[in-house]
Structure 1
């Protein structure tokens, strides 16, 4: 009888329990997501950007995650995770009653929460589907989801999802990203101790971060190691070795971005085409056209060139001043702060290495030198290494206004930038005075045969200004626009030998713009009868204006449009001198047509894009169009070769290879340009201030832009075979008399070879008289 009563009560209790469980399940399972959707789940992963040689140059992500298949994750990392998070993982059905009871007892004894009872499956369900609020309802829903997941997925599938999903601190999600963040290597290369350290992080990533608290991190690691040994995952000998292993951390790296202006250009393109989510979460692999070696050369050339140019404008004074140099700790703290803010510390080389530019404080000044404290080192700036530091004056040429006394530039307590030269002793350096440039620059280089962008720099420092002066700045091109005017004239019937009279001309009717406008040459001289070749070689303004006057502004604008100039252009003769603003991007695109035998190709920044499965979702479609004849392109190129050989671009002759190019300088030295190309590379450089202000007297394209262009091209073309420009079958060479432009007789001692279109050969003697008799030509 008692037995029957006991059995009845037990059965009733079970029924009540099942009913309660059913009620709880029914109540809290409402609205829960279907775990089967995880079959197609794709976690947020890093999108990566690669160079033309498939070198990693940038990453885009919201969650720094690199997916790792379970087979590529070390066994010891799996075991360490199980040891500290869920040792019964392979034996429970999503929830672990023993672990829950054990946690309750320990928490009761401690008087606060010291241990959790959640399984790996529960943690994963919470991370994927639920919030992190602490409530009974959330725990119940978490358990329901965990059980459902166990019914749909294998244990290995759940563990793989967990190890790729969980947050490990410092922006890293998943074990692969964690391994690279904390140890600077792939997860498969981790030691037992390193596996244990990473496995211990998910409980409290910030609290146990070895970068923030190494002692707590090591204690947590050692706990994981002991748990591994307790569970039989490692031997006692392995345990002792792991416990004794020193923690060798990598560096917490900033997001990879080795070409910031170009990468931002890419980011905008992809975001516009595919949207933000796809860019930052879908793990795209973006294969660009950028050549990393050339990009490094471009960035260095721009920075070196701008620093050198900026010195010609004078010294704008110290960054700040230190009133009391006796408090060395305060001075050290200030210098450290300034150097960190300026991102001057090279993780491999450290702060002190030859060529680095760092902050220092002037401690003594004599007539011929200044002593500088660098924080941990000393240095001396000799007068010859600071004699450029006159007061700023754009009307003076630095060559004639160098200071003769160091006291005219520096005072004790001045905080300055100094470049480290040769090391004189363990803690003393030769220094030179530096300042951050106020002037800016843009550089674009591309392959004219396929449009591939090989380098792009949009300014001195992307961290301080994201405005891309290579693609966004609309500036007056000055004489760099003249080849387009000459192309229009030659297409209209002129030849390189055609003679135009370089003489004064005044515009005073029809347009207010030209009310008594009297254009002059840069030299303020006039040269009389001048061939087109000579006019472009020496950048004669008046000849260019007369050419445009004859061919007509609409014709020149139409040619510019064909070449790729999209910016609005004024409908007047001033465009002959580059008065209408263009971007460097547009001008490089136009010059590429001349280099590519008259074919226009839209610049290409990306070769192709793959999704996370490796399938191509985008291929660059090269758009080629013959916009001018190959003969015209060859003639304009040949004219610009003369600019390099004998004219304003002769500084680049040191390359000792065929180069065509054109300088450009605008009124008051506001903009300086050099556009130049070899058969395989078109490169344009612009230099100027963001505000349309004069840089300084004589800051021409030759002086300000060519040094940057030349330094870059020397590196970009290094080791490449010397090529000649392609020869068009639409041109021929004939001897002409340079004074008349007429075809010369065989025995004419003044004759020289000139290039002509086959269907536009030079006139015979006497046919130029009508033109020469015209005052304007």
Structure 2
């Protein structure tokens, strides 16, 4: 009997050993091959920088920046060892005591609650295995850990660990965690900050320092005490560090800087390098964008579109609240605004956030122990509110007698002076705003309405009312100065190019990328209105016209195709000027400055539509052009990109502009992957046929074949038109700004040489201003996505030019004041501003005007009856 038992036990042991061996063999065969440290190629974040090396964006699947082990401070390594595996340098990959302790805990709990993994096991699991909690996976990470310890040094394992683990907020690896939570690199981390990150790893969401300060503090204390227990720091250091406040940050919102620009370069790079390179390989992208100018462009577009939107009327409150709903609404607003407006938080020793929202002037240095009296005396505005920004508030009083609206904001209130909200009529696109104003604030809002208000200043500034004199108003010193505001429905775009480097300095594709990602600067083709006249007038200069060429501004009619000459119902086109009047004889220069339609059509008729088309295409216009006389009036639809590029080339004396988006792209080793990438690449398909045709003709010309278009072709393929023609059209476009009757007079406020052209379309559907200085070329378009009027009299000089001006004022800060460079074969003479003849004592206004050499006037004449005779003759024709 005993013998049978012993045989059975022996067989059982052999069977068990065999089973274990078979299981081990099976698992071991399924294990991945252990990598060498050189084979570690994790997913990395690609980072984007502006022209001044300021970070402006990221592309990634995992936000990770690799950092060499030698660059990780010892205090950081010690923090993680104390928190995760204090015996790391003493074991061979497995902490058997830790495994036994975990097994006991799990048996007592009746479930798996503790792992007992070493750092080596964690690396094995993270790199090669899944996160499933099974005993099979546990055996695998044990076996892998043992193999890793044989193949890799301890330092290499720590390098893998600290670069691989996840820290929350899309941050992988210690370097990105340091940048995300503390806006530092890992070398700059303090002991307190290192302890927070070491405590964060096991459960990033639960221990997040920017969301759960109390739990983050608990984990930090645990790590610091463990560091003291194992001798990495003294007990005194641990206690002193625990008492320190720690500043943490929210993840930086790069998407708010230049979203349309970033999306454009993403599309370009995916096409050039592939999505995997862009999202996974940690490339560095250096762009031509100027972050400060981009911010100015963003603000200029927002402000300009809001101003235009207000001129059309007030669309009413966002919602209306009952009395018992107001407090809850304001509390939710406060919570949201605190989160959005304060990128930094201070974790106090007790595990709470400092009440920094009450201390805008001292910001994040404030603590909850600030002196309330001092606060009341110095701080009128909670820091989650900012002067110049707009917020939702609740109307608490409407006073028609005195003329104001009281609005409650979170933790404060202010007043809207009625004199600033007289625009708030019901929307009306047919009447100019000054002709249709409300008479009392109650015509726009009532108590309980939720409205958008802009904080103008911390002190109320009552206007001098013309209708309500000698009235007592609320104390100005105690309340905010507010203005009624609203989000615009109208859209707009802006594109700006450095004239010297050709870098795209700023790109705004619409009011809000979050609202609509459609890039109106590059994708929207819209009628250009009178801004296209600049191209046709330049073509006329190329044909032999000059700024003093006399034109007749008188009524004219054209029989349109489709009707026979003898038919009564034949269609007739009668172009007219915007002002509906006529000027008789007028110079070419003045016709352009005043944007007169009839003289422009006559130029179009004379030089021919085919020639104007070819000239336009030579300058980079690829959109389809209408093949009739309306072409000069801007009936064709072009993109803002095309128009801005053309005007930029005028300012560069006819040299091609290649709007540069990306200066270079390098990989993580420093190798250059891409050198210069411009926007022309994006439109290569649209321009290919046109450019090939021109290049064929240019080569034929250079080989001796002469054509009627030979004045387009030069030895330098980058020279698009004659330098002297480009300079003269620039000089004429300066007149639109400097001439008393010029349509772009507002641009003179820039205080520099400006050449530009306004553009408006029938029915006021689109408004343009494209202008340039010797330094910067910028185009602005305004309109609705679905074409409809933007309002009566909303011409380019009123709707688009103010946006251009606000941006260009910032864009030219610290730039030298220069003049447009004059090429050869240009002559500047003094002429009579009205007749275009050489100036003499009879001239009322004398100007300097550039001419292509040989086309300048040679006689000086006084005014005569000739103008009247020509006008009569033209009307008879």
Matches of 1:308 and 1:346 in 2, distance apart?
Answer: 29
2:826 match: 731
1:549 match: 605
- Contact 2:839–2:860 (Cα < 8 Å) also in 1: no
SS at match of 2:184: coil
- Contact 1:107–1:114 (Cα < 8 Å) also in 2: yes
Matches of 1:370 and 1:337 in 2, distance apart?
Answer: 25
Matches of 1:231 and 1:426 in 2, distance apart?
Answer: 60
How far does residue 654 in structure 1 lie from its aligned partner after superposition?
2.1
* 1:592 counterpart (622, 644, 648): 648
1:161 match: 160
Deviating more after overlay: 60-69 vs 279-288: 60-69
Return closer, same or farther for 1:657/1:115 CA change in 2, 3 Å cut-off.
same
2:28 match: 29
1:677-692 to structure 2, matched below 5 A, reads: 677-692=772-787
Give the TM-score normalised by the residue count of structure 2.
0.82
Deviating more after overlay: 123-132 vs 34-43: 34-43
How far does residue 535 in structure 1 lie from its aligned partner after superposition?
0.7
1:284-363 to structure 2, matched below 5 A, reads: 284-322=283-321, 324-333=322-331, 335-336=333-334, 350-363=383-396
Deviating more after overlay: 17-26 vs 410-419: 17-26
How far does residue 29 in structure 1 lie from its aligned partner after superposition?
2.9
How far does residue 663 in structure 1 lie from its aligned partner after superposition?
0.7
Matches of 2:824 and 2:870 in 1, distance apart?
Answer: 29
Residues 630-665 of structure 1 show CA distances to partners (whole Å, capped at 9, x for unaligned) of: 000011001101111111111121222211111111
Q: Structure 1 residue 519 and structure 2 residue 572: aligned? A: no
SS at match of 1:103: helix
* 2:499 counterpart (430, 448, 451): 448
1:639 match: 732
Matches of 2:524 and 2:658 in 1, distance apart?
Answer: 19
Matches of 1:435 and 1:477 in 2, distance apart?
Answer: 28
Residues 701-722 of structure 1 show CA distances to partners (whole Å, capped at 9, x for unaligned) of: 1111111111111111123221
1:169-180 to structure 2, matched below 5 A, reads: 169-180=168-179
- Contact 2:554–2:871 (Cα < 8 Å) also in 1: no
Return closer, same or farther for 1:81/1:16 CA change in 2, 3 Å cut-off.
farther
Q: Structure 1 residue 413 and structure 2 residue 469: aligned? A: no
- Contact 1:339–1:359 (Cα < 8 Å) also in 2: no
1:304-703 to structure 2, matched below 5 A, reads: 304-322=303-321, 324-333=322-331, 335-336=333-334, 350-367=383-400, 368-424=403-459, 428-510=479-561, 515-620=571-676, 625-646=718-739, 647-703=742-798
How far does residue 42 in structure 1 lie from its aligned partner after superposition?
2.1
Return closer, same or farther for 1:30/1:729 CA change in 2, 3 Å cut-off.
same
- Contact 1:445–1:682 (Cα < 8 Å) also in 2: yes
How far does residue 150 in structure 1 lie from its aligned partner after superposition?
1.9
How far does residue 280 in structure 1 lie from its aligned partner after superposition?
1.9
1:47 match: 46
Matches of 1:706 and 1:729 in 2, distance apart?
Answer: 32
2:690 match: none
- Contact 1:529–1:739 (Cα < 8 Å) also in 2: no
- Contact 2:584–2:870 (Cα < 8 Å) also in 1: no
How far does residue 100 in structure 1 lie from its aligned partner after superposition?
1.4
2:695 match: none
2:187 match: 188
Q: Which blocks of at least 5 consecutive residues in structure 1 are unaligned?
A: 1-5
SS at match of 1:421: strand
- Contact 1:445–1:684 (Cα < 8 Å) also in 2: yes
SS at match of 1:600: coil
Q: Which blocks of at least 5 consecutive residues in structure 2 are unaligned?
A: 1-5, 345-356, 361-382, 460-475, 565-569, 681-716
How far does residue 700 in structure 1 lie from its aligned partner after superposition?
0.8
How far does residue 33 in structure 1 lie from its aligned partner after superposition?
2.8
Matches of 2:86 and 2:810 in 1, distance apart?
Answer: 58
- Contact 1:183–1:248 (Cα < 8 Å) also in 2: yes
2:704 match: none
Matches of 2:648 and 2:839 in 1, distance apart?
Answer: 36
Return closer, same or farther for 1:691/1:81 CA change in 2, 3 Å cut-off.
same
Matches of 1:400 and 1:471 in 2, distance apart?
Answer: 36
How far does residue 264 in structure 1 lie from its aligned partner after superposition?
1.6
2:3 match: none
Residues 329-379 of structure 1 show CA distances to partners (whole Å, capped at 9, x for unaligned) of: 3232454478689x6777685322322211101111111111111121111
Residues 258-303 of structure 1 show CA distances to partners (whole Å, capped at 9, x for unaligned) of: 2122122222211222222222221111111111221121112111
SS at match of 2:442: helix
1:704 match: 799
Give the TM-score normalised by the residue count of structure 1.
0.92
SS at match of 1:692: coil
Return closer, same or farther for 1:564/1:198 CA change in 2, 3 Å cut-off.
same
Residues 57-96 of structure 1 show CA distances to partners (whole Å, capped at 9, x for unaligned) of: 1122222222222222222221222223222222222223
SS at match of 1:441: strand
Deviating more after overlay: 609-618 vs 660-669: 609-618
2:218 match: 219
Matches of 1:58 and 1:337 in 2, distance apart?
Answer: 27
Q: Alignment length, in residue pairs?
A: 767
- Contact 1:378–1:427 (Cα < 8 Å) also in 2: no
Matches of 2:643 and 2:121 in 1, distance apart?
Answer: 60
Deviating more after overlay: 244-253 vs 309-318: 244-253
SS at match of 1:141: helix
Return closer, same or farther for 1:497/1:238 CA change in 2, 3 Å cut-off.
same
Return closer, same or farther for 1:594/1:246 CA change in 2, 3 Å cut-off.
closer
Matches of 2:512 and 2:292 in 1, distance apart?
Answer: 19
Return closer, same or farther for 1:685/1:299 CA change in 2, 3 Å cut-off.
same
SS at match of 2:405: strand
How far does residue 187 in structure 1 lie from its aligned partner after superposition?
2.6
RMSD: 3.2
How far does residue 746 in structure 1 lie from its aligned partner after superposition?
8.1
Return closer, same or farther for 1:81/1:739 CA change in 2, 3 Å cut-off.
closer
How far does residue 499 in structure 1 lie from its aligned partner after superposition?
1.4
Residues 457-489 of structure 1 show CA distances to partners (whole Å, capped at 9, x for unaligned) of: 122222212112211111111001101000111
SS at match of 2:586: strand
Return closer, same or farther for 1:593/1:246 CA change in 2, 3 Å cut-off.
closer
